[in-house]
Chains A and B, each alone.
Chain A
Amino acid sequence: QSALTQPASVSGSPGQSITISCTGTSGDVGAFYYVSWYQQYPDKAPKLMIFDVTKRPSGVSNRFSGSKSGNTASLTISGLQAEDEADYYCTSYTGSSTFIFGTGTTVTVL
């Protein structure tokens, strides 16, 4: 069970939009509409940003949005801000209460 594939790093200028991809297989991302995304600052616990591919928990900015096509899910951050500089991880449900995480992406605000 290999980790989902994410780009190691993505960068953008303030105000721009960036997209982070999360590529799996037909057994995980492609099989279920249950992808979630987490934001993690250095030495902090991850925070849920998106669940069920597109849904935002209460309190998460609407600048964060999710989507999925086939075996690839994506997280888009629009109107990039300095506070968005962090690591981001995707996770997919893989059936029978099991999960797989992505490799993680470092977002840099230029």
Chain B
Amino acid sequence: QLQLHESGPGLVKPSETLSLTCTVSGAPISSSPYFWAWIRQPPGKGLEWIGNLYYNAESYYNPSLKSRVTISVDASKNQFSLKVNSVSAADTAVYYCAILMGPGAPWRFFDHWGQGTLVTVSS
């Protein structure tokens, strides 16, 4: 059974880098036919797609965040990670990892979401 779990600091200072990890259980990242995704939700607001990564490092990002975001994979740990540089209060949100799936390409819907982790940007 596929399960995802986010982890990382809950508090980040302005202008610093936000770093989160998503640990995957139930399937090997390196050989699974999925993209691995990050999505966030500011408190009381809607969902925002951040980006997707394939195990071969092929990645795609939200144009509004692309200059500050990196998604990477560590197949040896069955994890994928998110880094957001130069954060501000606007980056305060619950961050979710999820699997981008589809019965064939293009992968086109999100399933097996993690429980989410709140990251607050504050000094």
B25: CB under 8 A from chain A? no
Q: Which of A18-26, A67-75, A76-84, A97-105 contacts B (4 or more CB under 8 A)?
A: A97-105
Query: What band does the interface of chain A fall in when counting residues whose beta carbon is under 8 Å from B?
Result: 20 to 34
Q: List residues 27-47 of chain A with CB under 8 A from any CB of chain B.
A: 32, 34, 36, 38, 45-47
Q: List B residues 47-103 near A (Cβ within 8 Å).
A: 47-49, 52, 60, 62-64, 96, 100, 102
Q: How far is the CA of A46 from the CA of B108 in the complex (A)?
A: 16
**Across-interface contacts of B109 in A (CB, < 8 A):** 34, 36, 48, 51-52, 91
From A48, A98, A100, give the contact of B111 (CB < 8 A): A48
What is the CA–CA distance of A82 and B32 in the complex, to the nearest angstrom?
Answer: 37
Q: Evaluate contact between B108 and A36: CB separation under 8 angstroms.
A: yes
A/B pair count, beta carbons within 8 Å: 62
- A selection of 21 A-B contacts at a CB cut-off of 8 Å is A1-B64, A3-B46, A34-B108, A34-B109, A38-B110, A45-B113, A46-B96, A46-B110, A47-B113, A48-B111, A52-B108, A52-B109, A91-B47, A91-B49, A93-B108, A97-B100, A97-B106, A97-B107, A98-B62, A98-B63, A101-B39
A residues with CB within 8 A of B: 1, 3, 32, 34, 36, 38, 45-48, 51-52, 57, 89, 91, 93, 96-104
